[in-house]
Structure 1
Amino acid sequence: MAEGREIEERVDLEEDNYMEEIDDDVEEQLDEDGEDDAGDAHAEENVEEEFEDSKPEGSQKDQSPEADRSLANSNPAEDEQKPTASVNEEEKEKHAQLLSLPPHGSEVFIGGLPKDVMEDELRDLCETIGEIFELRLMKDRDTGESKGFAFVAFKSKEVARKATEELRSKDYKGKTLRCSISETKNRLFIGNVPKNLTEDEFRKIIEEVGPGVEVIELIKDPQTPTRNRGFAFILYYNNACADYSRQKMLNANFKLDGHTPTVSWADPKGTPPDHSPAAAGQVKALYVKKHT
């Protein structure tokens, strides 16, 4: 009996040490925008609403018992392949749809608009610069009156940059316009990553979740290069791809080698993101993950 108690005490000690190790994994992010522009905040809200349908549409577990019974006497291989093939086709179609949307950096914010400006007038102004994917003139919900700003998504980043040059400080109907690239979110923070996962293993998991993965930063442990520090940053092609993957990774069934990850937005800088470990150390929010 004394030997049994000694083993239990040793196990408890090892668990306590493991919890302390996890508690030390306090990682930080930076909201580098820092802008109080109500327009940009509203833009991010609208973009998330637009791509609400990017959430996963369910898994095979959602199939009805009747559907299961109808396949009970068929070939077992067909039972597995048919639903899987169907899901894969739906996923491929959704991925293609997300990748067909304009890339990050192709939307501009236009402020200082006359309150009586019409959407068609604004469209005419912007189409002289380049092809438009979408235009949203923001209006008061109660009065329907223009709020004096809009968001215009062009087909490419190059046209968006051209728009900022041509519309910034432009005189339009007695008003001086403001124009800048709209910083929609396209970068995710992933916490509680198993420290023994290699970069290749982590990349394979992430790329299977959703499309548009451009840069993966699995932050390495400087003391033990063969291990990671338990968190990562992922940069996506556009907001739609990032939000689709974010929703899938927030699903309770999604695991990283048995671990439930922490998933949140990591705001990009106003300039091209700095993909370096030093950039990961800047503070936006504090995340503490404990195992109980």
Structure 2
Amino acid sequence: MTEYRRGSASTIASSTSDASTISSDCQITVRLLELMHKTEYELVQENGQRRLTAPELTKEHRERIKGSEVFLGRLPRDCYEDELMPVLERAGRLLELRLMLDFSGTTRGYAFALYQDAKTARKAVTMLDGYHIRPGHPIGAVKSVDNCRLFFGGVPKDKSKEEFMEELSKLMDGIVDIYLYPNAQDKTLNRGFIFVEFKDHRSAAMARRKLIPGRVLLWDHEVAVDWADPEPGEPVDEDIMENVTALFVRNLAMNMPQQKIREIFQRTTNIPILKLKKINHFAFVHYESRELAEKVMQIMTQPGSIADLEQWEICWAKPIGPIKQAERQRCINEAISESRHQKDVKVKKIVKKPYLKTEELNQHYAQEALDLQYVTILTDFVAKTLQAMCSFECLTSSQPPGFIHKITIFRDNILIFEDFGTVQPTKQQSLNCAVSIVYQKLKSAYEYNVYHHMYPSPIVNDISAQMMHLNVSDDRSNQQLSNAY
């Protein structure tokens, strides 16, 4: 670990008569020492990163400001803290800057900036994403996912949560909780995998770094360890999440009736449920206000509660994003259209109404507007994240009969991605299906690269490479294309 001491910059500078004779590394050191002397921040280099930390940032303070970190990508390799800090501070108080380094000590082109609160972090993302830190050199900025969870696969199925906690605590520090899901047929067994929650991202990263290089054995079972995937779906703004009044309950028994869940919640909390919907092994429980939902969350998640005993996982439900919203509206419109069509057929047998053609025309325009909304969401996403363009082509399928859409993505006249939807009875449904499939693939690849920081710089090229890998490995599209025409 390298630690830079404050107050020695002037001494170093004065003892050097000719700055041109100082090596590049020494010049950087002098600049960093001057920055520390000016800001009174502490600078420490360890574990492949250099941390510039504000004096007021304590361990307790850090735990209170979760969700306040921003990921910065596409940074110049010779861009250091003294150049970054003045730019980052325009959004608000910067508590910590972590610059990633390679083995030679040069930067890896990305960093993490921790702000005083989540609101300031959102402001920083708006200000810095696309900001030209140097002429012709825009940088990328997104909210950093504070992933504190690791996935352990291939674990013994006959072990309990308490046994896993005891055994894993011998190997690593900072474990907060372990999520274990019982087997659907035999509740005394688990499903062969667990999720381990740590107190912070740093603890999870250190545990992963310790376990990844060699084989991990638990009770003579070889176990695979990696980051747990971020929660699926589009990211939701924190201001919206603060007003959510519904709870998401996971790990329910498949055969548990919906009414039984309602009775358990109301009997345990004595708070009326506004609406409840159970789907397979999870359920959504809606309440009249945020205050009531918070009270239920507190009661149901406390140690010794029925949720704890039954190993239910309870968290805030995430509102649906624009893609899902458009898909839901599309289904509603299709149902309305079909219902009106059936009604119109019955009416035509009795009397002809001249305004039916106008109504059908309006429905057609509404359908085209929804299709355009799908296409716009995808094209905007591709343009922003991949700096590329989309093309759409509708093909006719003979077996099974119907339509299938091909979506191709180009950048600088080079094909970087191509995929197909599934066969659908109408062209509109075919377009909707293809756009949804491609959008989810691209978005998953983008979130994996940005949030897990597997490919530091440049982000766009790394995602493009992953897209081409997806393209090669997807046999489904080739099979469907062979049935087209």
The TM-score with structure 2 as length reference comes to: 0.30
TM-score (norm 1): 0.46
Bigger RCO (CA 8 Å, 6+ sep): 1
Greater radius of gyration (CA): 2
